[in-house]
Amino acid sequence: QLNILHSELAKQLADTMVLPIIQFREKDLTEVSTLKDLFGLASNEHDVSMAKYSRLPKRKENEKLKAEVAKEVANARRKQHLSSLQYYCALNALQYRKRVAMMEPMLGYTRGQINFFKKGAEMFSKRMDGFLSSVSDMVQSIQGELDAEAEKMRVSQQDLIAVNESVYTPDSDVTSPAINRNLIQKAGYLNLRNKTGLVTTTWERLYFFTQGGNLMCQPRGAVAGGLIQDLDNCSVMAVDCEDRRYCFQITTPTGKAGITLQAESKKEYEEWICAINNISRQIYLTDNPEAAAIKLNQTALQAVTPITSFGKKHEVHHASQNVKNMENDKIIPSESAGIQDSTQLIAPGTPIQFDIVLPATEFMDQNRGGRRANPFGESEDSSKDEEEDSLLQQMFVVRFLGSMAVQSDDTSEVIYEAMRQVLAARAIHNIFRMTESHLMVTSKNLRLIDPQTQVTRTSFELATVTQFAAHQDNRRLIGFVVHLSETLGEESMSAYIFESNTEGEKICYAISLGKEIIEAQKDPEALAQLMKSVPLTNDGKFMLLNDQAEEDGTVHEEGEESEA
């Protein structure tokens, strides 16, 4: 009889204790491991397709190839999404099963022992039976919760699988993406540009996220992210990099180029730039960062939004705001009959150049030690004749702020609008560096000269300067419009904005005098009359005594030349 009891106990323990443990190990754990491997394979396929999509050229787009690659990315994302949902469902189910995986064997063991000691039932109290009953009820309750959660996840899977394919297609809303410009934190995948040699680079797709004022990066498989860039007081701007779309660069506060990143869509591209710009201004340290970000972006939007009326501007017009009519020698006011809209003056979205690039010809002259321009008229033999032929030479120290294409030169309002947009763009993008030059105004041209090397950076014929004016509030701001003819017969107009050490009206007066000299040279009598009205230096050049007298408060003796 004792052997029979032991045989029954062994069979009961095998069925109620050993079998559940084996099933949990071979069924549940093996299933989760298999789904994890499938999810890893789907993720690798998605990375391969995303790498192929990121390499699509921007300049020479092949719509057919782009559509094929985008469809491949969408299929890979759908596959990855489905495998991830199955993997997450198995993980969620495992959270419930592991709670009963050891409880059921112990319960089977306990019941086997109870049956084994059936003859000694008097040794077990009713409280033990009640405890076992409550444990059994708890197991059934957990099983019910598992069934409800599994059904809920199944419904969620069906809803997510039934969505439109455009959800998985990258950059599907490129025309009108919903961009949030008030972000103070951001996370997502970006391509990081790494230099592998002097001229070779590689791109690596990594997970980036912001934490306070830091940009963090977490490679796949890492348990935590690492610091990759301090964003406080840095600047971010869009760049063209290796014919890739949606690239932007983060620059350190010292002006040193930092990392270059690539987003996968226009929405991500815009939001990353806005988020980094907000963080760089340390908005996250304020009491209400969201409200501060909204206020900052509203202010920036107002700064770059074209105004529709110039009615609030002063109605005082100076000699610099008038241009000669070459046909009838009458002075025509620069103010047009009807005030133009700012969009008619400057096209929306016009790019701004913040530095003057040295022309190739001048660069060659500089390298071979050729001709250099001297701001005091003491030029070398190659340019001496040209300088002596000029009746006017006036030098000003200026700093170049920016230049941009304009659509009209009929009114000086185009210069005021260009000033506003250049200064607003510098403030938004934290651009403080300015190129200092010597602006030489002669009766033939305007030249920007490098103060150290005396190399002419760029030159404009005075006849092509169709409009010039100084700012009416900040009198150190000066701008002029240059009208040039392109090689294909087309014409272009560009506004150049400078900050001067002296009042801008003095530069405008010098330009106006130079244009008057050009007109007077056509008529000897007019030139003689002009020479009587303006004092001359000992070598017969026009001298602007009022400029120097205003600057140092002294009066020059008769016959003494000004510093210019």
Q: Tens of pLDDT along 222-264?
A: 888 899 999 988 888 888 887 788 899 998 888 787 899 999 9
Mean residue pLDDT across the chain: 77
Those residues whose C-beta lies under 8 Å from the C-beta of residue 411, and which sit 6 or more positions away, are 334, 335, 336, 339, 340, 345, 467
Least confident of 19-23, 382-386, 403-407, 476-480: 382-386
**Does residue 379 surpass a pLDDT of 50?**
no
pLDDT tens-digit map of 183-193: 889 999 999 99
CB 267 within 8 A of CB 245: no
The pLDDT score that the predictor gives to residue 327 is 35
Using CA of residue 301, residue 302, residue 303, residue 306, what is the dihedral sign? positive
At 522 the three-state DSSP class reads: coil
> If you classify domain 1-124 with CATH, what class do you get?
mainly alpha
361-389 mean pLDDT = 44
Report the predicted TM-score, pTM, of the whole model to 2 decimal places.
0.41
Task: Tell me which H or E stretch contains 127.
Answer: helix 126-161
Across the range 310-321, mean pLDDT stands at 36
Res 119: pLDDT: 56
Per-residue model confidence (pLDDT) at position 373: 45
In the chain, CATH 2.30.29.30 covers: 187-301, 390-533
Least confident of 224-238, 529-543, 547-561: 547-561
Half-sphere exposure of 352 (CA within 13 A, CB side): 24
Return the number of other C-beta atoms located less than 10 Å from residue 216's C-beta.
17
**Which ranges in the chain are annotated with CATH 1.20.1270.60?**
1-124
Report, at the CATH architecture level, how domain 390-533 is classified: Roll (2.30)
pLDDT computed for residue 497 by the predictor: 93
Interacting residues of 348 by C-beta distance below 8 A, sequence separation 6+: 306
pLDDT higher than threshold 80 for residue 81 = yes
Q: What angle do CA 453, 457, 460 make, to 5 degrees?
A: 140
Torsion (CA) 554, 555, 557, 561 in degrees, nearest 10: 80
pLDDT confidence bin for 196, thresholds 50/70/90 = confident
pLDDT computed for residue 480 by the predictor: 93
Q: Which has the higher per-residue pLDDT, 386 or 310? A: 386
CA distance 332 to 334: 6
What are 446-486's pLDDT values in tens digits? Answer: 989 888 888 888 888 888 999 999 988 888 899 999 988 77
- Give the span between the Cα atoms of 43 and 51, in whole angstroms: 12
Q: What pLDDT does 286 receive?
A: 85
Q: Distance between CA 161 and CA 159 in Å, rounded?
A: 6
What residue has token string 């030029």? 379
Most confident of 355-359, 433-437, 545-549: 433-437
**What number is the average pLDDT over the span 264-277?**
90
Give pLDDT tens digits for 35-63: 999 999 999 999 999 999 898 888 877 88
If one looks up domain 187-301 in CATH, what number appears?
2.30.29.30
Q: Count CB-CB contacts under 10 A for residue 379.
A: 18
Average pLDDT over residues 285-291: 85
| Low-confidence winner among 402-416, 484-498, 504-518 (lowest mean pLDDT) | 484-498
**Residue 249 and residue 239: Cα distance in Å, rounded?**
6
For residues 21-38, average pLDDT: 88
Name the token pair of 119.
């003859």
Question: Looking at 190-199, 229-238, 364-373, which range is the least confident one?
Answer: 364-373
Beta-carbon contacts of 530 under 8 Å, excluding residues fewer than 6 positions away, are 516, 517, 520
Query: Mean per-residue pLDDT for 92-113?
Result: 85
DSSP H or E run through 542: none
What is the model's pLDDT at position 436? 83
The dihedral through the CA atoms of 413, 419, 347, 274 has a sign that is: negative
| The pLDDT of residue 507 | 92
Identify residue 67 by its one-letter amino acid code.
A
Contact indicator for 429, 410 with CB cutoff of 8 Å: no
